[in-house]
Amino acid sequence: MCGSGGRVDGRTARGRNGLRVALLGPLRAWRDGTSLDLGPVRRRSVLAALMLRAGTRVTHEQLIDDLWGERPPGTGHRVLPSHILPLRKALDGSGVGPAESVIRSGKGWYCFTGHGVRLDVSDLDERAASAQTARASGDTAVAVDRYTDALALFRGEPLTGLPGQRAQEERRRLLERRLSLRLERLECLVLLGRSPETLDELAALSASDPLDESVLALHMRALYAGGRQAEALNAYERLRSRLREELGIDPGPAARGMYEAVLNQDDRLVGPAAEGAAALGPRPWPHRPVNELPGDGGGLFGRVNELARLTASTAPGSVSVLTVDGPAGVGKTALVVRAARELSAGYPDGCLYVDLRAHSTRRRQSPERALQHLLRSLGAARGELPSDLDGLTAVWRAETSRLRLLLVLDDALDVGQIRPLLPAGAESRVLVAGRRRLAGLDADHRVTLEPLGPGDATSLLTHIVGADRAGREPEATRQLAGLCDGLPLALRIAGSRLQNRDGWTVEYLVGRMTDDEHLLGELTAGDRSVESAFRLSYDQLTPEQQRAFRALGLTPTVEFDRLTPAVMLDEPLQATEHVLEDLVDTSLLQQPRPGRYRLHDLVRVHARRLAQDVSAEAAPARSAALGLYLSAARLASDWSPAGFPTGPRPVAAPFTRWEEAEAWLDAAGGELVDVVGHAAALGEADHACWIAEALCDYFVRHGRYHECRTALEIALAHVDGATDRRMPAALRNCLGYTALHERRYTQARSLLTDALDLARRHPDPHEEVRTLTGLAALALSVGEGHQAVVHATAAVELADRLHSHWVASMAGVILGLAHYFEGRDEEALPCFAGALAHAEEDRRPRMLGRPLSCAADVHLRLGRYHEAKLLLHRAVDLVQQGGDAFLAVRSLTRLGTAEEGVGNTDVAIALHGQALFLQRQLLSPRTEPSYAWLEMDIRSRLGSACLSAGRIREAREQFRTVLAVHSTRVRRPRPK
């Protein structure tokens, strides 16, 4: 990697225009301290893949392999430019041109230059090297601090959530680096005689990888240094037994050497620093040490980074405040208590704990009562304490001004509850835990606690139910961890239920939790309940926030933007966004990236149950959400809203143009199919069918055939429950339309034949005309020209009567192509003109571009090059506006032929070259059935232009390539 390192907290470091990038956690970037929006996960994956090859030209194929491996998307080449441009806009400073961009490009490649960009991995290298230098020079205490600083750069799993082989390899390397630095730091602590501080972390590391001999050897050394020789020897015996059972081998030299040293009580294991500390005798404590920290109940899983941040060194000479926020049951109390216990030795004047009970069935702790308790704990209640807050605060500050205290404030509600309790003594530390994000509180570090990942959740569950029991049902254990959504409270309750029911299998409990109705009910044990914990958070909300929270449980997708709940609540966008941000601050709602929100799985179940209790509110909210997706899909479709003769009419708001609707659907990503499934599951069969039908054109245009078929098949399975009797034929028409684009002609014929029969048995002229158009396209694709003319003629006549402009335009294009393929040029031109006239009614660029491009073909064959040029210039502009890559490339190479026809051979060669480049950039042979045909067409035209220009050798190369491509099976392209 390149760059000179830099902090990732947004306060220091300058690079190219102040550009810094952080990889040691979620991929993030800043310019001049301002966070940059790197877009969705796939776009951040593109940036990571380029950065991991910084300074190297990465071909499009390499980039696609890095991101998708053996299962690249059909739109891989087309989608890359759509990610690169937004990344450049985000990363480059104002006024930076392509030549100076951090992402350079050329023919078939991209490159992340990296020059002057500051990276947190570089800072990691510097801090690690500084720590190792200090250790080598014998300054072990300084080395510990520097190792701690280096480890603090990790903000979670490196490159969190980014897919792709390259990201996975780098993630593995960085995790290994983190483990190495942790072990070096822990070894330094042992050498300093501080082995008790290392034991919990080493035990956790040993549990996560029981066969790592380097971790075990250091754990044995720390145990021995702490006077626990027997435990050190037992740890070795457990390793030896496991290695023999699982691998049939004995421990290696490192572990064996440590075992012999411990067995022989080798004093060199203690180290000179530790020996010196022992000789000094016990550390003097105050006369009345106070330690009110609660017991450390159970193991802490998956919180190593968060724990390191809470226990890291802080600025001297001031009171440091650290906050931990997160949803109910995520383990905030366990984390701050563990952190406090690790820190307790450094606060000899007292370790105090106050439960502020913000979310409790007991009376909330007021600042006055909390201060009285704290003062009495310190022995300061000499005589009568003041009863008012100001008086108590003054006494508290006076009593703590010369003390070094550790104070834990658990389950805090707001800043007003906390500020009076802050001690005055320099170098005191306060750990605050609560569900709300306390933006008004000045804090040195803030930790937002998320549910455990799948691995840590499974480890916690295994720890509770026992390795033997979990090992007998590994898949069921993973499923149970998933149903608990990684929430430690839910995992502990589920584990407790299994502990108390020896006759239950893990799979049996999973079966009891597989539907929303029973999921939360099963997560109850004694006085602990996941739903009760959520309910206490909900009860703290304002009525407006509660209504919004209930509505969020009904959203048809897991992720959503502000528009969906705004429509469901019938509120303005700005007001809705304000409420959503408030819910984020309460930890009931997540914000995975700017502008996108989601609920944790269990929280969503709770919200949905609350919404179902208010049926008068839930029904309209559900209908509004489904109506929004229906409106967007119909408006984005080239069929235009008028192409859907039944069902609700699209509302004018919130989308005023089809481009806005399409961009909104793009943001939903792969969850659009879930909207159809959501509607079907709710019994909204009509909406399921309408939405699936409306999404058909959108999916097909983007090459997302599998999603299209899935959505349509879900809807078709529920079509009998729909009141709209057009749907049985309509859905079959859509499936036939999709099969045509996939070249599954036999299936297309069967579907379209069934659709025609339904449309005529239950007279529906709108579906009949769509079916006739589909049959015409099918006939044209398989070479049945006469049949194509028959079907297309009937379709045009019927579409004219119905004023169905999209169908009339499509049928007109197919009819024109049928005449054109048979050499009837003068009959083809009026067909294309009629198709253009119908397309002008809806003004969709793709629909306008098709007949123009096809008519230009006729003029080219007739030698009317000037007429062809005029048509093709219009066609190229239109189809590029509409994003139709195939038609854009096809029209561009024909424009080259027109230029050749009027004598502009150099222009023609350039246009053909541009068409060839765009074909490779935007299309893929995996998803575009006519890819080979299009390449042959472009190269043939390019060869002809080279021949006209006297460039014989180049022409020969093009024609030879055409023959090579033709060696594979090439079919006639589908009508475009």
**Confidence check: pLDDT of 975 > 60:** no
| 384/367 Cα distance (integer angstroms) | 17
Question: What three-state secondary structure class fits 232?
Answer: helix
Q: Which of 549, 629, 631, 622 is nearest to 582 (CA)?
A: 549
| 70/3 Cα distance (integer angstroms) | 32
What pLDDT sits at residue 868? 92
**Confidence check: pLDDT of 953 > 60:** yes
Amino acid letter at 347?
Answer: Y
Name the helix (H) or strand (E) containing 258.
helix 253-263
Alpha carbon 539 to its chain's center: 30
Q: Which of 876, 897, 895, 900 is nearest to 886 (CA)?
A: 876
Q: Which of 405, 402, 397 is nearest to 430 (CA)?
A: 405
Q: Evaluate the omega torsion of the peptide bond into residue 40 and state whether it is cis, within 30 degrees of 0.
A: no
DSSP result, 708-753 = HHHHHHHHHHTGGG-S-TTHHHHHHHHHHHHHHHTT-HHHHHHHHH
* Bridge partners of residue 528, in order along the sequence: 525
Instruction: Report angle CA 292, 298, 304 to the nearest 5 degrees.
Output: 90
Question: What three-state secondary structure class fits 281?
Answer: coil
Residue in the structure block whose two tokens are 């229906």: 630
Residue-wise pLDDT for 381-421, tens only, equals: 544 567 788 878 888 887 888 888 999 998 888 888 889 89
| 676/629 Cα distance (integer angstroms) | 10
| 857/541 Cα distance (integer angstroms) | 65
Question: pLDDT averaged over the chain?
Answer: 84
Name the helix (H) or strand (E) containing 82.
helix 76-91
Residue in the structure block whose two tokens are 């090297």: 129
Amino acid letter at 804?
Answer: S
Reported confidence tier of residue 449, pLDDT bands at 50, 70, 90: confident
| 435/450 Cα distance (integer angstroms) | 11
**Confidence check: pLDDT of 13 > 60:** no
Quick check: 837 and 805 in contact, CB under 8 A?
Answer: no
**Confidence check: pLDDT of 296 > 70:** no
Non-local (6+) Cβ contacts of 324 within 8 A are: 306, 310, 332, 335, 336, 431, 432, 433, 434, 447, 448, 449
Instruction: Please tell me the pTM assigned to this model.
Output: 0.62
Residue 594 burial by CB count (10 A; 0-12/13-18/19+): exposed, middle or buried? exposed
Instruction: Report angle CA 340, 346, 349 to the nearest 5 degrees.
Output: 90
**Confidence check: pLDDT of 156 > 90:** no
Residue 253: CB atoms within 10 A of its CB come to 9
Report, as an integer, the average pLDDT of 859-864. Answer: 92
Q: Which of 324, 338, 325, 348 is nearest to 406 (CA)?
A: 348
Total residue length of the chain: 976
Residue-wise pLDDT for 656-669, tens only, equals: 888 899 999 988 88
Quick check: 401 and 286 in contact, CB under 8 A?
Answer: no
Reported confidence tier of residue 551, pLDDT bands at 50, 70, 90: very high
Reported confidence tier of residue 9, pLDDT bands at 50, 70, 90: very low
| 153/169 Cα distance (integer angstroms) | 19
What pLDDT sits at residue 324? 92
Residue-wise pLDDT for 771-824, tens only, equals: 999 999 999 999 998 999 999 999 999 998 988 899 999 999 999 999 999 999
Non-local (6+) Cβ contacts of 304 within 8 A are: 182, 201, 204
Using a pLDDT cut of 70, give the percent of the chain over it. Answer: 91
Reported confidence tier of residue 35, pLDDT bands at 50, 70, 90: confident
**Confidence check: pLDDT of 606 > 70:** yes
| 652/659 Cα distance (integer angstroms) | 14
Quick check: 808 and 792 in contact, CB under 8 A?
Answer: no
Name the helix (H) or strand (E) containing 521.
helix 516-522
Residue-wise pLDDT for 879-921, tens only, equals: 888 778 888 899 999 999 999 999 999 999 999 999 999 888 8
| 560/1 Cα distance (integer angstroms) | 35
| 386/398 Cα distance (integer angstroms) | 13
Q: Which of 902, 907, 916, 906 is nearest to 957 (CA)?
A: 916
What pLDDT sits at residue 561? 92
Q: Which of 333, 326, 412 is nearest to 589 (CA)?
A: 326
Non-local (6+) Cβ contacts of 456 within 8 A are: 301, 302, 486
Tokens of 893: 């190479």
Spatial strand order of the sheet with 590-593 comes to: 559-560, 596-598, 590-593
What is the sign of the dihedral through the CA atoms of 813, 815, 817 and 819? negative
Reported confidence tier of residue 280, pLDDT bands at 50, 70, 90: very low
Instruction: Report angle CA 515, 518, 520 to the nearest 5 degrees.
Output: 105
| 315/181 Cα distance (integer angstroms) | 23
Amino acid letter at 955?
Answer: A
What pLDDT sits at residue 6? 33
Residue-wise pLDDT for 318-333, tens only, equals: 888 999 998 888 888 8
What pLDDT sits at residue 85? 86
| 872/884 Cα distance (integer angstroms) | 14
Residue-wise pLDDT for 724-778, tens only, equals: 999 999 999 999 999 998 889 999 999 999 999 999 998 999 999 999 999 999 9
Quick check: 181 and 214 in contact, CB under 8 A?
Answer: no
Quick check: 470 and 498 in contact, CB under 8 A?
Answer: no
Residue-wise pLDDT for 679-714, tens only, equals: 999 999 999 999 999 999 999 988 888 999 999 999
Tokens of 689: 């069918």
Report, as an integer, the average pLDDT of 353-367. Answer: 78
Residue-wise pLDDT for 507-536, tens only, equals: 888 888 876 666 766 677 666 777 777 887
Direct distance between the N- and C-terminal alpha carbons of the chain, in angstroms, rounded to an integer: 46
Q: Which of 688, 587, 658, 660 is nearest to 842 (CA)?
A: 658
Residue-wise pLDDT for 44-89, tens only, equals: 888 888 888 877 888 888 888 777 765 666 555 667 888 888 888 8
Alpha carbon 314 to its chain's center: 33
Alpha carbon 129 to its chain's center: 34
Strands 19-22 and 118-119: what pairing? parallel
What pLDDT sits at residue 640? 79
Residue in the structure block whose two tokens are 């049959």: 775
* Bridge partners of residue 19, in order along the sequence: 31
Q: Which of 142, 233, 157 is nearest to 189 (CA)?
A: 142
Angle at which helix 229-246 crosses helix 213-225, to 10 degrees, equals 160
